[in-house]
Amino acid sequence: MILAKLGIRNFWLQRQRNLFALSAIAIGVTGLICIGGYIDRWEHTLRTDTIYMRGQGMVSIYRKNGWLMSRSLPKKFSLTRSDQDKIYAIIEKLPGVERVGSVLNGSGLISNGCHSQPFEIRGYDLAVDQWMRERPIVKKWCANSLRFIRGQSFATTAPGPLIGIATGLAGLIGKSAVKALTSSAGPLTSLTEYCSGPGAAARIAEDSNVQLMAMTASGHFNATDADIAHVFSTGSKVNEDTQLTAPLSLVQDLLQTDRVSSVAIYLEDFRRTDAVARDLRERLSQAGLSYDVHVWNERKLSPMYSGLMNFLHAMSLFCTLLIGSVVVLAVVNLTTMNVLQRSREMGTLKAMGFGSGALVQIFFVEAAVLGVLGCLIGTGIAKVLAIGIGHAGIHFTPPGSSVAQDFLIVPDVLTIFEVVVFVLALVALSAAATAWALGRRSCLDLLTHSA
Amino acid sequence: MLRVSRLVSWTLALYAVASPAYSAPSGDVLSLLRDADRGRGGIQQGLGWTVSIDSQDDGDSSSTTYQVRTRGDNAYVEVTAPARSKGEVFLFNDRTIWFFKPTLKKPVAISARQKLTGQAANGDIASTNYARDYDAKIMRKEPVNGASCFVLDLKSKHDSTTYDRIRYWVSEKRRLGIKAEFLSLEGKILKKAEFKYDQKVVVDGKSLDFVSEMIIVDALNSANRSVMHYAKPAIVKTPDSLFNVNNLLR
């Protein structure tokens, strides 16, 4: 107790010198929490986007090698009606499942009547889409992706065969109108006039009607009319020129099949993903069924999530090393100065019978007070900064992104805790090690040393 | 010194003889290619035939029948079987190909390179006009099934052709394409084809050999193949309106 009192008293006596080290620690904590908060923001957004907006769910089930091959060879690598029934029967018994949906991927050509562009289409359950859009987590983390650039959801658009089209692809086929906003045009009499007559570009842009053409599962041509219900952004420049979405039924009609590419499982808690996937594999194996079970964060399923998170983690490691070094140098410098200046005091204490360990304890307490204060101030500044940045409404376009994103810093409690523990440990260890190295001198040596 | 120059001369002479490029006047090559095209429907008069394509693709088999009517650079190809595809139309307007079915509001522009069924591409179904679409060079002469053939190297003149490069064996005597290898730009063989001419069509009073069968085989997996059976070739009168894309909408 006496050592703690000495430590706290010394901290107060050396307050001017301590202020420099305190500033270094507080700024370091602020920096680390801000970096952590930035990573947390992208972790939440990309995870929610991968699981919900891309319709993958936390766990997805494919035929063997179906993830790779179902788009090119749907007849061999997609799930038949019978496969789907067996899978749904097993999922029913799985604990922690909140929702199940089916996805059918395909590819083909989209035409405005004048020229065509290749597309990749994802067909999904409308009920699952509606449920997903109402989820608070999706509204919170994927507000930008959730908003349509133009138009409305399939459920709120006039009935008929409907598609959603990515902005890039809409631009490539010269479309800007969506069905809900246009009146139905009369029958076309001359394609030549429609495509190359006066005002052709405006006429094509105002017409929400498109044709989709694809190879059916049995290898024949098929084509269907559809109207654009909404224009959306995929969030990624790579996919912007090719992506379409549609109700599952439209894609099944186009491909003339009742098959699906995968069954997606949405869990109540994403942290149970691996456990549920293990459980599911076991149940499928017990039932003698051989399907591929994938989890949402597999690199091949979510390259954007994996790539960006790896980059952010590498960047944060570099920054942590840099900030950690500054904090260590500040504390070592401060403790060295204190030890050298207080050599006589240490000598006297040693002469009174205090051991080296006790002297280290005094400096440890001083450093601990410094660390706790620095962490408190740093956390406070970081929180104020996070709130301020959130309210400032700063937008930026990250590399590879097709839309501007909100600049947000949203540190989790766990992130703050990790930063505080890391900095406290760093401060205490640096102080204790410095005091130990300098305090081992003899009593006489300490008493005769002049600062 | 004299010996060395003689050796060099002989080496150059031997190289010239063994050189793969077979020199022939370019007009001859074009005329050869036009004759070969004629045997595969490439004539200016209106011509009609039916073609059924039986395909084996990764263990699945399918069969589709088309009614083809061509004139010059245009073709109107209608699916007659299977029943669910009946009424679908492929309209070849020079180098543009349109796909249409009665339930569509507008036709869809498609590519000649796109897979039609099995190993056959859209561009394989109508008449052939290699003389117009490819730069040709005779590489060498080579016997195929005992018949002497010119081996032609065809390079695409534009990107709306069905294939980038074709190695084409044309019979010296019959002036008809006997076999072909369809290659990528890098020279990799994608598909192989063989042709038979067991029927005739009378054009301007002259009886011409006409293709009766074309077998297209995947170069990587010979089990994947399409056999195109051509039947009932005849000169038919086809109005211009048949090839007008606007008329598909009516």
B186-223 pLDDT, tens per residue? Answer: 889 999 999 999 999 998 888 999 999 999 999 999 99
Alpha helices in chain B (DSSP H): 2-18, 26-38, 122-125, 130-133
* Cβ atoms of residues A229 and A154 within 8 Å: yes
Residue B185 has pLDDT above 60, yes or no: yes
Q: What is the mean pLDDT of residues A24-29?
A: 92
The predicted structure's pLDDT at residue A450 = 56
The predicted structure's pLDDT at residue A383 = 94
Of B62, B246, B248, the CB nearest to A218: B62
The predicted structure's pLDDT at residue B6 = 53
Q: Among A21-35, A144-158, B41-55, B67-81, where is mean pLDDT lowest?
A: A144-158
Write the pLDDT tens digit of every residue in A242-261: 999 999 999 999 999 999 99
Reduced to 3 states (helix: H, G, I; strand: E, B; else coil), residue B88 is: coil
- β-strand partners of A231: A150, A165
Q: Say how many residues make up chain A.
A: 451
Tell me if chain A has a CB within 8 Å of the CB of B161. no
A106/A247 Cα distance (integer angstroms)? 12
The token pair at A265 is 């499982």
CB neighbour list of residue B100: distance below 8 Å, 6 or more residues apart = B88, B89, B91, B107, B108, B248
Q: What is the mean pLDDT of residues B158-171?
A: 91
Q: How high does pLDDT run on average in chain A?
A: 88
CB neighbour list of residue B108: distance below 8 Å, 6 or more residues apart = A109, A111, A116, A211, A213, A223, B98, B99, B100
Residue B13 has pLDDT above 70, yes or no: no
Q: What is the DSSP letter of A183?
A: P
Q: How many Cβ atoms from other residues are within 10 Å of residue A183's Cβ? A: 6
B159/A294 Cα distance (integer angstroms)? 40
Taking only residues 6 to 45 of chain B, the set having a beta carbon closer than 8 angstroms to any beta carbon of chain A reads: none
**How far from A408 is each of A187, A233, A380, B38, CA to CA, in Å?**
50, 20, 17, 69
Taking only residues 78 to 97 of chain B, the set having a beta carbon closer than 8 angstroms to any beta carbon of chain A reads: 82, 85, 88
Residue A402 has pLDDT above 80, yes or no: no
The predicted structure's pLDDT at residue A449 = 66
Phi, psi of A429 (to 5 degrees): -65, -40
| Torsion sign (Cα): A277, A278, A283, A285 | positive
CB–CB contact A225 B103 (8 Å): yes
- Report the gap between the CA of B68 and the closest CA in chain A (Å): 17
Reported as a pLDDT band with limits 50, 70 and 90, residue A284 is: very high
Residue A103 has pLDDT above 90, yes or no: yes
Reported as a pLDDT band with limits 50, 70 and 90, residue B20 is: very low
Q: Among A174-183, A328-337, A411-420, B55-64, where is mean pLDDT lowest?
A: A174-183
The predicted structure's pLDDT at residue A328 = 87
Burial class (CB in 10 A: 0-12, 13-18, 19+), A444: exposed
- Chain A residues with CB under 8 Å of B107 CB are 111, 113, 191, 211
Of A191, A211, A219, the CB nearest to B60: A219
Of B57, B106, B248, the CB nearest to A219: B57
Q: Among A13-27, B1-15, B180-194, where is mean pLDDT lowest?
A: B1-15
Tell me if chain B has a CB within 8 Å of the CB of A185. no
CB–CB contact B106 A209 (8 Å): yes
Reduced to 3 states (helix: H, G, I; strand: E, B; else coil), residue A212 is: strand
| Angle at which helices A356-392 and A303-341 cross, to 10° | 140
Q: What is the mean pLDDT of residues B101-108?
A: 92
CB–CB contact B108 A73 (8 Å): no
CB–CB contact A191 B248 (8 Å): yes
Q: What is the mean pLDDT of residues B84-102?
A: 90
The token pair at B4 is 């060395």
Of A75, A191, A215, the CB nearest to B106: A191
Q: What is the mean pLDDT of residues A335-341?
A: 80
The predicted structure's pLDDT at residue A1 = 65
The predicted structure's pLDDT at residue B42 = 86
B208/B202 Cα distance (integer angstroms)? 6
The predicted structure's pLDDT at residue A171 = 94
Of A113, A189, A220, the CB nearest to B117: A220
Tell me if chain B has a CB within 8 Å of the CB of A8. no
The predicted structure's pLDDT at residue B1 = 44
The predicted structure's pLDDT at residue B174 = 92
Domain boundaries B22-243, corresponding CATH code: 2.50.20.10
Write the pLDDT tens digit of every residue in A150-191: 898 888 877 789 999 999 999 999 998 887 655 556 677 788
- Report the gap between the CA of A307 and the closest CA in chain B (Å): 33
CB–CB contact B249 A189 (8 Å): yes
Domain positions in chain A: 2-47+305-448, 55-301
pTM (2 d.p.) = 0.80
The predicted structure's pLDDT at residue A180 = 63
Q: What is the mean pLDDT of residues A144-155?
A: 84
Q: Among A90-99, A136-145, A440-449, B50-59, where is mean pLDDT lowest?
A: A440-449
- β-strand partners of B98: B91, B109
| Angle at which helices A356-392 and A15-48 cross, to 10° | 50
Of A75, A115, A225, the CB nearest to B105: A225
- Chain B residues with CB under 8 Å of A75 CB are 60
A405/A311 Cα distance (integer angstroms)? 18
Of A192, A194, A211, the CB nearest to B108: A211
Domain positions in chain B: 22-243
Q: What is the mean pLDDT of residues B68-88?
A: 91
- Chain A residues with CB under 8 Å of B78 CB are none
Q: Among A139-143, A183-187, A289-293, where is mean pLDDT lowest?
A: A183-187
CB–CB contact B58 A111 (8 Å): no
Residue A270 has pLDDT above 80, yes or no: yes
CB–CB contact B108 A111 (8 Å): yes
A390/A408 Cα distance (integer angstroms)? 6
Q: How high does pLDDT run on average in chain B?
A: 86
CB–CB contact B105 A188 (8 Å): yes
Residue A142 has pLDDT above 50, yes or no: yes
The predicted structure's pLDDT at residue A27 = 93
Write the pLDDT tens digit of every residue in B21-36: 454 545 589 999 999 9
CB–CB contact B109 A73 (8 Å): no
The three-state (H, E, C) secondary structure of B140-196, written as one string: EEEEECCEEEEEEEEEECCCCCCCCEEEEEEECCCCCEEEEEEECCCCCEEEEEEEE
| Angle at which helices A413-439 and A15-48 cross, to 10° | 150
- What radius of gyration, in Å, describes the C-alpha atoms of chain B? 20
Residue B155 has pLDDT above 50, yes or no: yes
| Torsion sign (Cα): A274, A276, A282, A285 | negative
- Chain B residues with CB under 8 Å of A114 CB are 109
The predicted structure's pLDDT at residue B14 = 44
Tell me if chain B has a CB within 8 Å of the CB of A107. no
